[in-house]
């Protein structure tokens, strides 16, 4: 039993990446833009509407209460929670500049079994989360095309998304869509194709991908500036009353779903082995990115809920809808364009992060060796990048986005909680190790961060906890069937071959 919690030795960060490993090409500005690319996307362009207005099933059952105009408090609450976790991430990232993010940190602090569970949770964050983002991207893409081309509904909505919808027009597709073997054919083709395009880009190389991401970040910030500038001039103060229609319950439950918008800074830490001078740039990138994104969220949320009554934000494209309802239709097309670009950046960052989790786990022997292979020319984990891309694309064809948001959030929050707990554990077990960045007031910050993450998790629906439990059981079965027996740490073997230029 004790071997299940055996910790991986932390290598000296000064040693850099091994020969044939990943290329160190990213600086602080790249990391901040990577953070903005991941954080500002589906959360502000899609889940904002559900967080403000709430969610009700076709049966009339309330899934979650909305925050109303108090949505800005949900953003501030999450900003504070994530700031605590970000400080812990910054300390561990500066000490353990390795691919794998929270997985690598947990392996070095809490042991192999916890590391496996966190790695398994991170699959929810990136792969399952990207399914939701791809579906949201498709919604805005269809809005963008609608003035010129109307795509058939059965080719732009997945089966489970239609089945879970309370919109009568959308549910009508169950009867009107073509059938195959008696089953309605409902496929979200735009979501499928954007994931495959992003996957191809990531196989080519990291530096090429960050250039594309940086360009998309500039576009999304310009569009959000347009939304704030034009929308602020048309705010109606009466829309802020009542400010918190469902009290703190609404603020709490809104925070639980819109938390999806804050998980981007975790993606930064997966880039540790591809970052120049990670001891300095990782903490800066994580904290700067989080601070900038929180400020943007609060401002956009305040404008959106002041522009129209919060109940009318319940839509697949809430920001574009806000302009439409407010009579600013000449700008709604630009907002849709910005959302398409924005969520393309999110897809890029999430698809970037997931293969690197697989890469780190396979390198430790917990997954098969092929998952640690690096392309001899592009120096990217091409095998896991392609496999992840195909699975995410297939999921986006049929999945329900609301369910995937909840599953992503609970998996990510559990990983954040473990990172917060890992900092004080490592302070006790290895107090003399150099810490280029140290968490101030370590015990209140780390324990408070873990409890805050658990508090946000409590705001998620019961079905999210049930599915999360099933996910963990599946992960433990895989670990004991393969990872436990092939662990490099337990067998005392050399790390898995990374597939260098001659591998």
Give the angle subtended at the CA of 484 by the CAs of 481 and 488, to the nearest 5°: 135
Closest among 493, 468, 430 to 117, alpha carbons compared: 468
Closest among 296, 293, 306, 338 to 320, alpha carbons compared: 338
| pLDDT tens string 314-362 | 877 788 889 989 988 888 888 888 888 878 877 877 787 778 788 888 8
| pLDDT tens string 10-28 | 554 444 444 445 566 666 7
| pLDDT tens string 204-238 | 765 555 566 667 778 878 888 999 999 999 999 99
| pLDDT tens string 110-163 | 888 888 988 888 887 778 888 988 988 898 898 888 778 888 989 998 988 888
Q: Which tokens belong to 302?
A: 């305040």
Q: Which tokens belong to 147?
A: 């003035």
Determine the longest span between alpha carbons in the chain, in angstroms.
67
Closest among 320, 376, 283, 229 to 90, alpha carbons compared: 283
Gyration radius of the chain over CA positions: 22
pLDDT, residue 500, reads 40
Whole-number percent of the chain with pLDDT over 90: 27
Q: Which tokens belong to 494?
A: 């050399």
Integer angstrom CA distances of residue 425 from 3, 64, 411, 433? 17, 36, 21, 13
pTM of the model: 0.80
CA dihedral over 44, 49, 55, 59, signed as positive or negative: negative
**330 burial class (0-12, 13-18, 19+ CB within 10 angstroms)?**
exposed
Question: By three-state DSSP, how is residue 64 classified?
Answer: strand
Give the residue-averaged pLDDT of 28-40: 73
CA gap 390, 199 in Å, rounded: 8
Give the angle subtended at the CA of 48 by the CAs of 42 and 53, to the nearest 5°: 145
Neighbours of 249 (CB within 10 A): 14
pLDDT, residue 498, reads 44
Q: Which tokens belong to 318?
A: 């809430």
Between 269 and 78, the higher pLDDT residue: 78
CA gap 279, 369 in Å, rounded: 29
Question: By three-state DSSP, how is residue 56 classified?
Answer: strand
Find which of 17-26, 250-259, 433-442 is predicted with most confidence, using mean pLDDT.
250-259
């Amino acid at each position: 039993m004790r071997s299940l919690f055996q910790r991986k030795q932390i290598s000296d960060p000064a040693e850099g990446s091994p020969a044939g490993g990943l290329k160190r090409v990213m600086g602080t500005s790249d990391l901040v833009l990577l953070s903005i690319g991941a954080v500002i996307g589906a959360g502000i362009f899609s889940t904002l509407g559900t967080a403000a207005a709430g969610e009700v099933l076709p049966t009339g059952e309330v899934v979650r209460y909305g925050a109303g105009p108090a949505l800005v408090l949900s953003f501030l609450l999450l900003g504070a929670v994530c700031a605590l976790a970000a400080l812990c991430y910054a300390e561990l990232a500066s000490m353990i500049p390795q691919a794998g993010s929270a997985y690598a940190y947990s392996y070095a602090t809490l042991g192999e079994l916890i590391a496996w569970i966190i790695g398994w949770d991170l699959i929810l964050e990136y792969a399952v989360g990207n399914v939701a983002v791809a579906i949201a991207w498709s919604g805005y893409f269809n809005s963008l095309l609608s003035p010129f081309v109307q795509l058939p509904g059965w080719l732009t909505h997945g089966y489970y998304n239609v089945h879970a919808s309370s919109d009568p027009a959308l549910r009508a597709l169950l009867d009107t869509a073509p059938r195959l073997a008696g089953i309605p054919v409902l496929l979200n083709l735009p979501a499928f194709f954007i994931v495959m395009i992003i996957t191809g880009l990531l196989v080519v190389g990291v530096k090429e991908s960050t250039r594309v991401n940086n360009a998309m970040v500039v576009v999304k910030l310009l569009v959000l500036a347009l939304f704030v500038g034009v929308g602020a001039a048309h705010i109606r103060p009466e829309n802020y009353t009542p400010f918190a229609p469902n009290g703190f319950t609404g603020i709490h439950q809104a925070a639980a779903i819109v938390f999806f918008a804050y998980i981007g800074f975790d993606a930064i830490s997966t880039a540790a082995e591809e970052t120049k001078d990670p001891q300095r740039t990782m903490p800066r990138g994580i904290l700067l990115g989080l601070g900038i994104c929180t400020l943007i969220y609060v401002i956009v949320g305040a404008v959106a809920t002041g522009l129209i009554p919060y109940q009318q934000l319940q839509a697949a494209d809430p920001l574009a809808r806000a302009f439409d309802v407010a009579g600013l239709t000449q700008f709604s097309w630009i907002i849709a364009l910005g959302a398409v670009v924005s969520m393309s950046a999110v897809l890029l960052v999430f698809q970037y992060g997931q293969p690197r989790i697989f890469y780190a786990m396979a390198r430790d022997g917990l997954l098969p060796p092929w998952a640690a292979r690096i392309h001899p020319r592009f120096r990217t984990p091409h095998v896991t990048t392609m496999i992840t891309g195909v699975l995410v694309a297939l999921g986006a064809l049929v999945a329900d986005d609301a369910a995937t948001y909840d599953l992503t959030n609970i998996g990510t929050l559990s990983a954040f909680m473990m990172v917060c707990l890992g900092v004080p554990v490592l302070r006790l077990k290895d107090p003399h190790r150099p810490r280029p960045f140290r968490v101030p007031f370590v015990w209140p910050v780390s324990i408070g961060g873990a409890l805050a993450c658990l508090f946000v998790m409590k705001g998620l629906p019961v079905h999210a906890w049930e599915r999360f439990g099933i996910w963990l059981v599946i992960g433990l079965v895989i670990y004991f069937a393969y990872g436990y027996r092939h662990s490099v740490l337990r067998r005392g073997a050399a790390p898995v071959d990374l597939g260098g230029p001659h591998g």
